[in-house]
Amino acid sequence: MVLYLLVLLPLVVFLARKEASLLVRLSVLVPLLSFLLAPFLLGTAAGPFRLDGVGLFYLLLTNLIYALVALFARGYFAREEAWRFYWAGALFLASAHGAYLAHNLGMLWVFVEGSTLASALLVYHKGGARPLEATWKYLMLGSVGIAMGLIGVILVYALVGGATLDWGEVRSLVGEADPEGLKVAFALLLVGFGTKVGLFPLQAWLPDAHAEAPGPASALLSGTLLNVAFYALLRYAAIMQAAGLFAFASSLLLTFGLLTLLFAALFLFGQKEYKRLLAYSSMEHMGLAVFALGLGLPWLALFHTLAHSLAKTLAFLGASGILSLTHAKEVGRVGGLVFHLPALGIPYVLALAALGSLPPFPLFLAEFKAVEAAMRWPGLAGLYLLGLGMAFAGLLSPMAQMGFGRGKPLRGQGLDLWILWLLLGILVILGVFPGVEVFKGLEVVLWRK
């Protein structure tokens, strides 16, 4: 019962109607309330909903990021109407809650598709030719992709005898299912949820949507939305493992993870707009997380998505600050941020460094562990390192130009820049104290129970 209320909780924001200050307050309070409430609901179940460790992990992460982004958005939208952002955001937060609480594969699909629709509204915001085009592309490609995923869900349902779609029950029944059918189903599910994760070659919508959305919305898309689809992949990978077909799933995940990494790294080069750069970097890191899952290390995939979400939210909030202060989209027209506006420049440049996986940031550890595990197949590890090197080089020159190149002095009025420093602090703490045991504990929930 409380779980149903938790899913509906984000909709409370609509009570504020269009009144700006109340909208902000509710949009920050709601995720905080959910953040505090959720741990007490661990293990409870109601209808198709149940909260387990992995769901709780992503729910807490989403709520944390959402609260910070909603707070930052107050300064960002100070001179324009913000209700569109908060309304679409509330719908998105509700569908993310639904997805993480759903213990039923059918409901999981319904809420993942719901999050696509809500986030299309976030991209669209107030329109204009480019956002409209990006939203249209996102809606069409996302819907077709996810429809393929639904065929996969139906096949899984039929393969377990049409008995249940409960994740736990499917996992115990799937051992007797026809393995060839399951392989087809998993391939379809990978296409479906992979489209939303941004796997090559299904990523066409991602850079457009992330670049054209207003800054705080981009942060939500990269920091929280991509995880929703990745979470669905995690659940299905666990089902494949329970069916004894992980080798098959693994080869698909490794291949598409690696292809996504290499393709995204290629596109990071010569990218002139910094928000598109960040969008391709999201693709790169989701590819890396899928690769980690393919290595048979779900804990590493969880850790990677956590580190990426924090670093990318920081980077996109920084980028949206830069855009609102300079009105310049291109890397070449922004420079010297570290000197002219250190309160914004320093966390932004460090966010790029974190995304480039420099120590002491947590993505360094994540990638190091992945290389270590991939060493069993030297060719694979080699390609992985090549992709990492290319991606790092692609981030390096924009980082140098924007941080230290020539540019005009700036005044950071009206933006809550302390949020960037807070995120930076969390990142450094996570880098120094990665708490690997916690993630391994979550892996047990997902994998072996």
Q: Which stretch binds other proteins (CB under 8 A): 74-82, 149-157, 306-314, 319-327?
A: 149-157
Site track for other proteins across 204-233, x = CB under 8 A: ---xx---x---------------------
- CB-neighbour burial class of residue 27 (10 A; exposed 0-12, middle 13-18, buried 19+): buried
Q: Closer CB to other proteins, residue 57 or residue 124?
A: 124
Q: Which stretch binds other proteins (CB under 8 A): 6-14, 21-29, 154-162, 308-316?
A: 154-162
Q: Closer CB to other proteins, residue 122 or residue 295?
A: 122
Q: Does 132 bind other proteins (CB under 8 A)?
A: yes
Q: Does 353 bind other proteins (CB under 8 A)?
A: no
DSSP state of 79: T
Near other proteins by CB under 8 A: residue from 162, 378, 379, 409: 162
Paired residues of 49 in beta bridges: 46, 102
Q: Which stretch binds other proteins (CB under 8 A): 37-45, 145-153, 195-203, 327-335?
A: 145-153
Site track for other proteins across 263-302, x = CB under 8 A: ----x---x----x--------------------------
Q: 363-375 burial, b if ≥16 CB within 10 A, otherwise e? A: bbbbbebbeebbe
Joined together, the tokens standing for residue 180 give 């060839």
Q: Does 129 bind other proteins (CB under 8 A)?
A: yes
DSSP state of 16: G
Stated as kind and residue range, the H or E segment containing 432 is: helix 418-432
Joined together, the tokens standing for residue 42 give 């661990």
Stated as kind and residue range, the H or E segment containing 240 is: helix 226-242
Q: Give CA separation, 242 vs 245, 251, 354, 373, in Å.
A: 8, 16, 35, 22
Cα 11–Cα 72–Cα 281 angle in degrees, nearest 5: 95
Size of the site for other proteins (CB under 8 A): 47
Instruction: Compute the distance between CA of residue 4 and CA of residue 379 in angstroms, rounded to an integer.
Output: 48
Within 10 A of 23 (CB to CB), how many other CB atoms are there? 26
Site track for other proteins across 174-203, x = CB under 8 A: ----x--x--x-------------------
Q: Closer CB to other proteins, residue 295 or residue 391?
A: 391
Near other proteins by CB under 8 A: residue from 64, 101, 121, 264: 121
Q: Does 104 bind other proteins (CB under 8 A)?
A: yes
Instruction: Compute the distance between CA of residue 306 and CA of residue 223 in angstroms, rounded to an integer.
Output: 9
Near other proteins by CB under 8 A: residue from 14, 46, 83, 143: 143
Question: Which residues from 367-426 bind other proteins, rule CB under 8 A?
Answer: none
Joined together, the tokens standing for residue 308 give 């990426």
Residue 330 dihedral angles phi and psi, to the nearest 5°: -85, 145
Instruction: Compute the distance between CA of residue 15 and CA of residue 29 in angstroms, rounded to an integer.
Output: 13
- CB-neighbour burial class of residue 161 (10 A; exposed 0-12, middle 13-18, buried 19+): exposed
Q: Closer CB to other proteins, residue 76 or residue 280?
A: 280
Between helices 226-242 and 179-197, what is the axis angle to 10°?
170
Q: Which stretch binds other proteins (CB under 8 A): 50-58, 141-149, 322-330, 389-397?
A: 141-149
Near other proteins by CB under 8 A: residue from 19, 80, 133, 176: 133
Q: Does 260 bind other proteins (CB under 8 A)?
A: no
Question: Which residues from 16-35 bind other proteins, rule CB under 8 A?
Answer: none
Q: Give CA separation, 419 vs 37, 66, 68, in Å.
A: 23, 12, 7
Q: How far is the CB of 117 from other proteins (least distance, A)?
A: 5
Near other proteins by CB under 8 A: residue from 77, 124, 246, 361: 124
Q: Which stretch binds other proteins (CB under 8 A): 76-84, 155-163, 370-378, 387-395?
A: 155-163
Joined together, the tokens standing for residue 387 give 């992709």
Residue numbers at the binding site for other proteins (CB under 8 A)? 48, 104, 106-107, 109-110, 113-114, 117, 120-121, 124, 127-130, 132-137, 139-140, 143-144, 147, 150-151, 153-155, 157-159, 161-162, 165, 178, 181, 184, 207-208, 212, 267, 271, 276
